[in-house]
Amino acid sequence: LLEKGAAYRCFCGSHRLESLRAEAAAQGRPPMYDRRCLHLSQQQIDEKLRVGEPYTIRFIAPNPADPGSADVAQFYDIVHESMRFRGPAGFDDAVLLKSDGLPTYHLANVVDDHFMRITHVLRGEEWLISTPKHRALFKAFGWPVPQYAHLPLLMNSDGSKLSKRNRDGPLQGYIDAGYLPSAVVNYTALLGWHPGSGDKELYELAELEQAFSLGGLSRSKSAVSRDRLDWLNKQHLQKAVSSDSAQSRDLAAIAASEIDQHVPGFSRLPDATDTALRTLRMCSDRLTFTRDLFDTAPYLFANPDLGTEEAEKTIAKVPLETRTHLLQAAIAQLKTMAGPDPASATGDEVASKRWSGFAKDMALAASASASSNSDTLAQKPVPKSHAMMMLRFALTGQSTGPKIPELLEFFDSRETISRLERAVQKIVAESLQ
């Protein structure tokens, strides 16, 4: 560039440059170097070099008013389309080489892009103002100018700019917090980009590779929303655990170690990973992270608390005189049938088929039992819904959760009977108070 006359040595020290900046600020104009050193004679330059005076190398920025330089200030951006810079902004004589011999970003960026054969530059829109400089540098070197796409900035929910200097949202932090990599990729792809058709939001990486196009980039700034990321993570987690893949078992192993915090030693059980995977699948529609599993369904790992308001709400609609009849009918049924083998469970469909008539039979048996003690009850058959409520109460102590057939399939008959008997004891004890 020096040989071409497209750059020059600047010997101005920091004191003079600071004075120029202060003067520009006082006059309300942007700071620009006054090109004092551009007009030094060769003799003056040689003398300064001889005595070892430090210098920088500045680029001679083209004048946008010059017809030959018009295309530097006016260009097409893939996101912002036609761009035109007026006035001096972006056309100061930028320092390319600092006095310590190190290149500045402007020089390193252009040289690096050229030798890496970059055809498209995608970067944050804060670099729009520097694009005329970079285009001018490419032209000064005689190199082809790449296409530019300046992307909208990411913002915090309060409207402030997301910044690595403030440690806003480092990527590893999301992974450490339990977000799945696929969910983070999905989420970040949708920040400032839209596929352009339909309302599809859930993408795997391979789908993004097919769907992505520069034409889908937006000019609007995007706010980083944890709520939306949480929703996407929930969807990706649900999809991952429902598959028979290495990832599903990896997630189950993580969940097993997290359950250890509540049930010490759980992860050391021979079937810990299998059990964790089954419970993840049962509860996946209510989980955002694997660590939510125990808090969402603690009854899958320990006896439920039947003394809470939540537990009482579960059976509020079941008449007091019917409750023990229903539980005892369930116990009797279980003792006469082969206990389900948890290892044989293959999903909701199998569980529904195996236990489809259990609650109905339980209700019929309870009606028969009650009829021998009460003419009133005999006239009103016990509804199946009451049987379902009592099963949910005894097995979980909660009003919502996995489907009853899934719960019956999950627990072996011995555990189910134990929980039913425990519930009977509680109801009987309360009736005697």
Q: Per-residue pLDDT tens for 109-159? A: 999 999 999 999 999 999 998 898 899 999 999 999 999 999 988 888 777
For the cut 50, the answer to whether the pLDDT of residue 89 exceeds it is no
Cβ atoms 424, 328 nearer than 8 A: yes
Confidence of residue 375 (pLDDT cuts 50, 70, 90): very low
pLDDT at residue 371 in the model: 67
Residue of 213, 288, 218, 289 lying closest to 258 (CA atoms): 289
pLDDT at residue 156 in the model: 82
Mean pLDDT of the chain: 88
Each residue's pLDDT tens digit, 184-215: 999 999 998 988 777 889 999 999 999 999 98
pLDDT at residue 343 in the model: 43
Please report how many Cα atoms fall inside a 13 Å half-sphere around the Cα of residue 165, on the Cβ side.
2
Each residue's pLDDT tens digit, 276-300: 999 999 999 999 999 999 999 999 9
| Separation CA 9–CA 37 (nearest Å) | 7
pLDDT at residue 10 in the model: 96
Confidence of residue 355 (pLDDT cuts 50, 70, 90): confident
For the cut 50, the answer to whether the pLDDT of residue 345 exceeds it is no
